[in-house]
Structure 1
């Protein structure tokens, strides 16, 4: 047996022998420091010896058992009897913490409970219980954390019966901060009130949701609200497609044209641009609306701008809002009203580089967790899985 593996048995443990027979059996004795748990005295008298059989961290592919000899003591000062406490071994447990950690890591990495039951010779219910114990321990490590300075808020689907859940993400450190059930202020009130240091939040990034905007203003009073660029551009494209449907219902159903209309003009190949130009020659009104869409999206996609650079951009944004609100088409008037309502939050996009793409990435990982579990019914279990697995990433 390699010496470095013997050292991993634990501090203060002396290995006497290692036997390989249907696995690995380590015979060892605890010789580390011992003190009375009542009075911390080291004036002790040995009264008895006993052996604890424990499951230990596997050596290669071999299951390992640890036969650990311990002593029972009597304190000469307070006359109390007690057994030695061993680091890495909690009372009344038949396995070391290193073995529990190994099972947690294996199950987290995709090894099923039945597979661990067959290879490690432990029950599948034991695997589930240990997995939850480690998740709760990891979640408690972050329970006293303060709110991040840059916070992303977005919703994701949970179940048909229970609806949506809201994700609070630390956009600066790329970590999940909290997951709460619901997406209205009434359902999120208790979770928001439990958050510590809400006054520390400086920036809140959200999509074009009025409920999230009022929630951010109420619970994060010192934060500036910034719109998520992806959702703003998607809103512009959606209203443009609705306008196209009014002007040419038949052409709107052409999937080839639909694909070209959604892309940026600069990303089209020459033959694709020629196809659009031929279509616009037959429908000049659609060509004018398409040109307006391209110019507005180019304006919204500006990044890393200083305060001085933002002044002409704000003038252009107000110009487009005025043009859209006076448009003869209902979808464009609706778009103008939306951009006017969110003009302050949209203008801040040019200064702040953070966006909710980080949060959307975590939502993809949450979907994978749900698929592996074949769905969740209990939101508390779902939150424990998500926070325990993603908090420390």
Structure 2
């Protein structure tokens, strides 16, 4: 810093009071907080009723929580002058709305600090309230209202959405009340390779009605712009998409398709276990010991795992499990195939093989075949639309789980939805200069 030029210390500029229409007149540093005495810059001495000039009457003080410096809570003690009109005797006080909204307890700069802490730094609301030296309810109501105004209610937030993902999410683990919500995800950035997925909205309940109602509330132009909807195997999402977005292509993502095969494999393994041994799997039982290995892709098995699988299927009594495992591995191979055309052909072959000719003993494969046949178009549509998967929706579900753990649980769904949108709504400071 050889060429640095220092100016006289200015407490007003350092604490950002000039942007609030205030000027610092003094400070008091205490072990647990800092208090800044301030005055309003604009005199505001003209009557709002008759237009006459007023004369000073007295002063009052207004206290606001401000941006903490060094994690030390900072309090603004604003001296507000009151005037009396010389014409109509009306009494008013200086306008402080530049510093904070009427009856607010936190300055506008403090609100921005709390909002950035929630959105960017992923702080808990308790930590924000501690930094502002206000109660949890005060910080929560003010910061969420500011986030709703600046970010969530932004009319441009839903623009450019062409690929949508829909999934369910458990927002609380209690015995009372509905525990599930429907989450709607914007997968357009993932498909275009421009960024991560983002949360568009969250609706109470997990049903066809919940998703259909949300779609119906969007304008017609927005709905016509949706090209693809990625979803799991729940038929309610499929029906709602067909009714509200007739031109959109539903895609059943690989994660849930492979999980259907994995569930069929587990059900078959447990059934054969019961038939052979008369009890659930225990340590030392071959089928139980290989339960994790059976869910691993054949191309990822180690030599030891290969030997375990070969030894397991060398027993004739495990033939049904071997058949189900073979179908499961073919499904995995279809999605891992380097050529999408070959992958689609393999998956179509699996669906065709399960549609007819499956022995009656293989009840799990017959059930899987009925499901895949019913959703064949949705399953095969994935291979025609690269990067269209509900996997990012599952990733956002993971972020919401982290949010719920950070807050030690939520009791108010409205607060949870607002916090979830701020947490996973894709808001970035460079795209929102007001932050």
Superposed displacement of residue 85, structure 1: 4.5
Q: Report matched runs for 1:1-393 at 5 Å.
A: 6=14, 8-11=16-19, 12-20=21-29, 23-31=33-41, 45=53, 47-48=55-56, 50-55=59-64, 56-70=66-80, 83-102=94-113, 109-110=123-124, 112=126, 116=129, 121-138=133-150, 140-142=152-154, 145-146=157-158, 148-158=161-171, 159-160=174-175, 161-173=177-189, 174-196=197-219, 197-246=222-271, 249=274, 250=276, 253=281, 254-283=287-316, 285=319, 286-302=321-337, 305=340, 310=341, 313-325=343-355, 326-328=357-359, 329-350=362-383, 351-393=385-427
Q: Report SS of the residue matched to 1:191.
A: helix
What's the offset of the Cα at 1:371?
A: 3.7
Per mean C-alpha deviation after superposition, the further-off stretch among 243-252 and 94-103 is 243-252
| Structure 1 stretch displaced more, 255-264 or 17-26 | 17-26
The farther-off stretch of 95-104 and 271-280 is 95-104
Distance change (3 Å), C-alpha of 1:111 and 1:90: closer
Q: How many Å separate the matches in 1 of 2:36 and 2:156? A: 40
C-alpha distance in 2 between matches for 1:245 and 1:61: 56
CA distance in 1, matches of 2:106, 2:209: 45
Structure 1 residues 5 and 165, CA gap change in structure 2 (3 angstroms): same
Task: Tell me how far 1:150 sits from its aligned partner.
Answer: 0.9
* 1:54–1:96 contact (8 Å) kept in structure 2: no
CA RMSD of aligned residues (A): 3.8
The 3 A distance-change label for structure 1 pair 88 and 323 is: same
Q: Give how far 1:377 is off.
A: 4.2
Matches of 1:261 and 1:67, distance apart in 2 = 68
Once structures 1 and 2 are overlaid, which stretch shifts more, 175-184 or 357-366? 357-366
| C-alpha deviation, 1:111, in angstroms | 6.1
Separation of aligned partners in 2, 1:273 and 1:281 = 12
Contact 1:303 1:353 in 2 (8 A): no
Specify the SS of the correspondent of 1:258.
coil
Deviation at 1:155, TM superposition (A): 0.8
8 A Cα contact 2:204 2:210, kept in partner: yes
Residue pair 2:23, 2:41 contacting (<8 A) in 1 also: yes
Deviation at 1:344, TM superposition (A): 1.4
SS in 2 for 1:112: helix
Judged with a 3 Å threshold, the aligned counterparts in structure 2 of structure 1 residues 330 and 124 are, in CA distance, closer, same or farther, namely closer
Q: Which moved more, 1:233-242 or 1:167-176?
A: 233-242
CA gap of 1:52–1:101, structure 2 versus 1, over 3 A, is farther
> Is the contact between residue 19 and residue 26 of structure 1 (CA under 8 Å) also seen in structure 2?
yes
1:35 to 1:221, Cα distance in 2 relative to 1, 3 A: farther
8 Å Cα contact 1:314-1:347 kept in structure 2: yes
CA deviation map 1:114-171 (0-9, x unaligned): x956x75534443343344334435643466436211100012245431421100112
CA contact (8 A) 1:57 1:98 kept: yes
Evaluate the alpha carbon distance shift between residue 352 and residue 123 of structure 1 in structure 2; reply closer, same or farther with a 3 A threshold. Answer: same
Per-residue deviation, 1:321: 2.2
Shift of 1:51: 5.0
Deviates more, 1:252-261 or 1:215-224: 252-261
Specify the alignment match of 2:430 in structure 1. none
Q: Note the residue ranges of structure 1 that are not aligned, 5 or more in a row.
A: none
SS of aligned partner of 1:88: coil
Q: TM-score, normalised by structure 1?
A: 0.81
CA contact (8 A) 1:304 1:352 kept: no
